[in-house]
Structure 1
Amino acid sequence: MTIVDLSVVVINWVQPLSMLPSSLRVLRLSGCNLNTTLSSLFNSSSTLVSLDLSYNSLHGPLPNELLGNMTSIEQLLLRSNDLSGGIPRTLKNLRNLDELDLLGNDLSMVQSLSMLPSSLRVLDLSICNINTTLSFLLKYSSNFTSLVSLDLSNNLLHGSIPDGRLLGNMTSLEQLLLWDNDLSSVIPGTLENLHNLEFLDLSYNQFSDEIAELIEKLPHKVQSLFLYENNFTGSLASCIAHMSSLRVLDISDNNLVGTIPLGMGKLSNLSMLDLSYNHLDGTMIEDHFASLIKLKYIYLNNNSLTIVLDPNWISPFKLEEADFSSCNLGPHFPAWIRGQTDITFLYMSGAEIADRMPDWFWHVMPQLQYLDLSHNQISGVLPMSLEFMSAASSINLGSNRLEGGVPKLPPDLCYLDLSRNYLSGPLPPNLGVIPLKKLLLSNNLISGPIPSSMCNQLQSLLILDLSNNHLLGELPRCWTSSKSSKANHNNLKPVSSQLYIISFSNNNLSGEFPWFGLSCPQLTFLDLSYNNFFGNLPTQIAKRLPMLSFLLLRSNMFSGHIPIQLSKLNNLQVLDLAHNNLSGTIPPSLVNLTAMTTITRTSFDLIILNGTIAYDDLADSLVFDLSVTMKGQHLEYYTNISLLMVNLDLSSNYLTGEIPEEIGALARLINLNLSKNQLIGNIPETIGGLLSLESLDLSNNELSGQIPSNLSALTSLVYLNLSYNNLSGRIPTGHQLQTFTDSSIYEGNVNLCGPPVSKDCSGNDTILDALPEYKDEHDMSSFYLSMGLGFATGFWLVFGPLLLKSTWRTAYFIFIDNTYDKIYVFMVLNWARLFARIKKK
């Protein structure tokens, strides 16, 4: 027997492989769940030519003696184990070793490759935690004249790529992979002696060299060049035309500037071109694509390029993937797209297209899977059905000017964005396809009720956004319990274990709080604001929706008290109950809202960690509409910055009682709005603990007492409104409060004094300000006693003589009567004269 292949068979061997024949030449035990050391597996291994123990749990160091005895070994594959330490020097004696694969082990002790045999043709030491300079690692290794493939990617290598004295003798090298390290520069001319180099990957490093210098020195035989995710600078030089063998060129995500040279159009072997995420500008014309007959993948997105092609131009290539997002392709819809019948991925978002969607577009690309034409000004009417786009998985036509109704969808569609258009009419009853994960129809003119068929859709949806439309009526009842039996709400079965964003805001929907929302246990964002919902808020909300981070119920008709159970929502960072009919007091237990007090993982983080939702599904969905009233204005967030918002808005209700002192613990609050309620008592001193606060509105209440001086410690505060309360005393000064010079923020508090209001705090106005200076009860008693004695003394000095002496009293009242008569006669005469003048006119 010369070959034993038990790959992927779980055998859990821990004893030596003594039962195997001594003549064995090939042994493959890849993925067999072996959990032991290498030395414990073998008694003898001198006849082995090929050994594959990849994807196991082998641990411990590479055994010196065992490896030294493998004198016949040509192929040693040990990738993805738990081996550690360094490379034994005995490996240098393995003169027949052709391929060594140690990927994914911990070889942090490796400092040099000088102990490896010169016979090696393939060496893979990627993801091995090697931490040294590349120069030191390759020192004394210049005898690798047979090496064809060297992979040192995903390590901790740093410094520069060494000069030709270390790499120059590797004349057979065809593949060099150094991606995902911390390398910073390429010494000019380092790579030009590698005449057989075909594949070079320097991506995910810190290179900041001039791109033209690097390309000019590369061997012309290079076919695949990966330089993405670096800091390469400068512009692409015309020397690119000499790289005639190039098949793949990826320089994305660097700092390239300038125009794309016409020489790019001469690379007739090029199949993939990725220049995305740079700072390129200028205009591309037909000559830039003239000879790209093999081009299948092109990514020019996130540059400032303008692409001007003749409407009758016929492209020489058949694309499979293309991304022109943020390039200028307009104003007309690019006609050359019609010839791309093989395309599967087409992104032209933000391409400045201001044209009518051509009728042919929906029929000429039968293999199209991913389409993004969002953020243009494309007009026209959508077809009634998109079912003929049978391969489509994702369609994004958001932020355009499309009209018509919501079409019937392709059978395998997972993502649909038709938001921010002019779609009208009702939602079709047969809208849904079960695979659909994201349905975004916000900001349209869609009317009528939400069809009950939507319940079937909830089984697969992650996101449902129907906000800013003209929908009306009650939400569909997506459960089996009786309409009138609230007792059955405790027995609700989950409608969807994945649905985590629901937005129905700004419609005409009505009814009680939608109970189907309480049967979506992963829900993190619920927006029902600006509708006509009524009734009490459910007390089960914390139990049913433990992941909830955003609860927006603004501008409805909800009544009753704020449920204290809301304080159990540890992830809640936005609570907006403004403009309802809520009564009662503010629950002090809101202090338990952990996400408003300390920085914690968001619900979105937890969902990813739990594996509920793939990151790719989540990434596109963190950009959602969030409407917040703060800083005295209505703000719309349409970006993932909304994840940073921490907001508590209970304004425009009928809340009574005092502001709980516990509110000062909500240190992450950015916006606090308690205005237009019936709150009484003092502003709590603890409010000075809201160090992240940017907007504070306590206006239109019945608050009294002084303004806490520690408000000046809120250095992030940019908006303050305390108007129309019963506040008194001197307005605090210093630090942040000095910036508030608009007196209207204190309007309606007649007993406030000091800048910026006009009332001066001097004289009697300072009495209230002086009150806090009395430190104890004895001082306060003395103050009030002195004030009382002063009042009594003044009273008797004025009125005492009048009471005791009759002649003075008679004279006083005669004086008063005469004064009254004079004033009365004066007023009568003047009114008569004024009336006479008016009659004459």
Structure 2
Amino acid sequence: MVSNATTLETLDIAISNIEGPISNVEWGKLCNLQDLYLTQNKLNGDISRVVEGLSNCSNTTLEFLGLAGNRLTGQFPNSLGHLKNLRILGISFNQISGTIPTSIEQLSRLEILDLGQSQLKGALPESIFNLTELTQLFLATNDWEGNLSQNDFARLYQLKFLAISCGERFSVNLSSEWIPPFSLTYIEIRKCAFGSKLPTWLKTQKQLHTNILSNGSVSDSIPPWLWTMCSQLQFPDLSDNEIGGNLPRLVNFPSSQIWTADFYSSYSDGVVVDLSSNSFHGLLPLWPNVTHLNLANNLFSGLSPINIGHVMTKLQVLDLSGNTFTGSIPYSITRVKQLMRLDLSDNHFSGKIPDWWADLLSRNNLFGELPKSLSNCKSLLTLDIGENKISGTIPEWFGESLLSLQKLSMTENMIGGHIPPTLCQLFGLQILDLSHNNLTGRIPEDIGSMQQLETLDLSSNHLSGSIPLSMTSITTLSYLNLSYNNLGGPIPSKKQFGTFTNPSSFECNPKLCGKPLITDCSPPRKRDLKKIEEEEDDDERLWF
């Protein structure tokens, strides 16, 4: 139907969940097309079919080609250069491979070139850096070869957005004293070695709102001039470096959104700070305007500030996991009404679980029973309380209130009682880990109704009875561990259970039999039965 719309100038079906091969359309008939928006769908097929079809038009009018976020494969044909009116080319987040054709130099009007997050390889054509109208250049996460220097960027006067990442065969060498010809608002450089210090040329970028310098081997503390720049930074990201020192207690981050996202990206409307996986230590900073704060995997210690909820009232995401915080969890966190994600796992928090608790608190020393107030968390996706000292039973209301759960981990606690049948009502659950507890009784017969399960671990409990046949219908199940229980009877062999060939999934259940265990489930022969009966009679007489 689209192929017949030969006068069509704009086709916008982005973010529409459309799937199928892109070759279904006769692109060569759409010679009046100026704007093609197909981003964020489920389209597949060879990208060359689109490019070659559109480039066959005698007078190509196409200005916008947006194919990002699909499942496209293939390579760019050399006919890409025929689309001479193209101003925007976006193909990120696909599986497009091969090299960039040299004909790209003919796209002299190109303003946005987005080739990130694909499978492109080889050297970057020098002609890309002669496209002087470029305002946005995204080259991150591909398999490039060679190296770039500051001289390659000398003609990109209009550049505002730059994203690039290094690799084993690709490097970017920029002198710390370099004065760029452009004034960026967005910079993303990943896995490129800067040396021990942050490059001082960043100071020249007066309009910068996003600064991502991740995995750059920086080890010195953050210089004062960068904290001064934070008044304009909405997305500072220095994660995965080796930066140490204390963080300042007061940083003047912007109080409101100061920019809008580019044509295909979506960002938070607040201040996002990611300093995870470094060597920061000292006290936890309190930055009022920050909405997303990630300080995971650092060296912070001591008590968390009791007034955190009074100061950081805009918080939506807080990740303090992988540190050594001690003491109780501050009650003031309950004042943060917009909090969507809280990760305090892998710390040294102690004390009774607060009644308001509703998120990730694994690997601590928390004790007590699960509070009923948790049932109010209707939209909770992940509940991980593993490796604590939680007691009591699994509440019946889990399967009635937490219907959005995708992951439930309660491993290594002191939880007893039965597995409630209502738990099987968590139809969206993908991971269920109840291992290393004190559960007694049978596995619920309706466990097969959890059709999204990918991981099921019930090992190291006291479960008895047979393995429910309904489990064989869970076709998504890829990991199963029922070991170290008191289960009995034959192990199912049909459907999904035919894939579980490792005996360790079922070992140490004395009454279980059948493959992959060596215990045979076949009944004994009549002669063997008579012998067994005689031996039992002898035992009875001896006892008498």
TM-score, normalised to structure 2's length? 0.77
- Asked whether 1:687 is paired with 2:496, we answer no
Which residue does the alignment assign to 2:308?
Answer: 431
Render the CA deviation track for 1:762-812: whole Å, top value 9, x for unaligned.
xxxxxxx797264xxxxx3896289959x99xxxxxxxxxxxxxxxxxxxx
Q: State the alpha-carbon separation in 2 of the partners of residues 424 and 261 from structure 1.
A: 49
Q: State the alpha-carbon separation in 1 of the partners of residues 112 and 272 from structure 2.
A: 26
Render the CA deviation track for 1:463-512: whole Å, top value 9, x for unaligned.
1111000101123333xxxxxxxxxxxxxxxx9xxx7xx21011112222
Map 1:377-396; keep pairs closer than 5 Å.
377-388=242-253, 390-391=255-256, 393-396=271-274
Which residue does the alignment assign to 2:91?
Answer: 228
Counterpart of 1:784 (choices 530, 534, 537) is 530
Render the CA deviation track for 1:157-179: whole Å, top value 9, x for unaligned.
xxxxxxxxxxxxxxxxxxxxxxx
Map 1:363-378; keep pairs closer than 5 Å.
363-378=228-243
Change (3 A) 1:560 1:275: closer
- Asked whether 1:645 is paired with 2:511, we answer no
Which residue does the alignment assign to 2:501?
Answer: 717
SS in 1 for 2:499: coil
Q: How far did residue 570 of structure 1 move?
A: 3.2
Q: How far did residue 227 of structure 1 move?
A: 5.1
Q: State the alpha-carbon separation in 1 of the partners of residues 296 and 449 from structure 2.
A: 34
SS in 2 for 1:380: strand
Change (3 A) 1:656 1:185: closer
Structure 2, unaligned runs of 5 or more: 40-45, 257-269, 539-544
Which residue does the alignment assign to 1:284?
Answer: 148
Q: State the alpha-carbon separation in 2 of the partners of residues 327 and 225 from structure 1.
A: 27
Counterpart of 2:327 (choices 448, 465, 482) is 448
- Asked whether 1:527 is paired with 2:413, we answer no
Q: State the alpha-carbon separation in 2 of the partners of residues 247 and 667 from structure 1.
A: 49
Given residue 178 of structure 2, which amino acid in structure 1 is its aligned partner? W
Q: State the alpha-carbon separation in 1 of the partners of residues 50 and 412 from structure 2.
A: 56
Q: How far did residue 296 of structure 1 move?
A: 0.9
Q: State the alpha-carbon separation in 1 of the partners of residues 352 and 296 from structure 2.
A: 22
Map 1:104-115; keep pairs closer than 5 Å.
108=1, 111=4, 113=6
Counterpart of 1:419 (choices 296, 305, 322) is 296
SS in 2 for 1:455: helix
Q: How far did residue 399 of structure 1 move?
A: 2.0
8 Å contact from structure 1 (residues 588, 662) kept in 2 = no
Q: How far did residue 661 of structure 1 move?
A: 4.3
8 Å contact from structure 2 (residues 48, 75) kept in 1 = no
Change (3 A) 1:150 1:318: closer
Which residue does the alignment assign to 1:249?
Answer: 113
Render the CA deviation track for 1:200-232: whole Å, top value 9, x for unaligned.
5374696856566634x565xx57241525747
Q: How far did residue 305 of structure 1 move?
A: 3.7
Render the CA deviation track for 1:83-111: whole Å, top value 9, x for unaligned.
xxxxxxxxxxxxxxxxxxxxxxxxx2863
Aligned length: 503
Change (3 A) 1:239 1:552: closer
Render the CA deviation track for 1:274-310: whole Å, top value 9, x for unaligned.
2234322322111012232221111224766422122
Counterpart of 1:469 (choices 347, 350, 359) is 347
Which residue does the alignment assign to 1:214?
Answer: 80
Greater Cα shift, 521-530 or 540-549: 540-549
Q: How far did residue 647 of structure 1 move?
A: 0.9
TM-score, normalised to structure 1's length? 0.52
- Asked whether 1:508 is paired with 2:365, we answer yes
Given residue 326 of structure 2, which amino acid in structure 1 is its aligned partner? S
Which residue does the alignment assign to 1:318?
Answer: 183
Which residue does the alignment assign to 2:261?
Answer: none
Q: CA RMSD in A?
A: 4.2
SS in 1 for 2:211: strand
SS in 2 for 1:684: strand
SS in 1 for 2:523: helix
Change (3 A) 1:213 1:351: farther
Which residue does the alignment assign to 1:300?
Answer: 164
Given residue 224 of structure 1, which amino acid in structure 2 is its aligned partner? R
Q: How far did residue 666 of structure 1 move?
A: 6.2
Q: State the alpha-carbon separation in 1 of the partners of residues 436 and 107 from structure 2.
A: 66
Given residue 372 of structure 1, which amino acid in structure 2 is its aligned partner? D
8 Å contact from structure 1 (residues 341, 365) kept in 2 = no
Given residue 423 of structure 1, which amino acid in structure 2 is its aligned partner? F
SS in 2 for 1:414: strand
Q: State the alpha-carbon separation in 1 of the partners of residues 532 and 211 from structure 2.
A: 86
The structure whose Rg is larger is 1
Given residue 287 of structure 2, which amino acid in structure 1 is its aligned partner? L
Which residue does the alignment assign to 2:433?
Answer: 576
Q: State the alpha-carbon separation in 2 of the partners of residues 732 and 565 from structure 1.
A: 30
8 Å contact from structure 1 (residues 427, 447) kept in 2 = yes
Render the CA deviation track for 1:543-599: whole Å, top value 9, x for unaligned.
3323333322222233444444434433344333333344x412534x24522xx34
Render the CA deviation track for 1:294-335: whole Å, top value 9, x for unaligned.
211112247664221222112222111122234444454222
SS in 1 for 2:391: strand
Which residue does the alignment assign to 1:28?
Answer: none
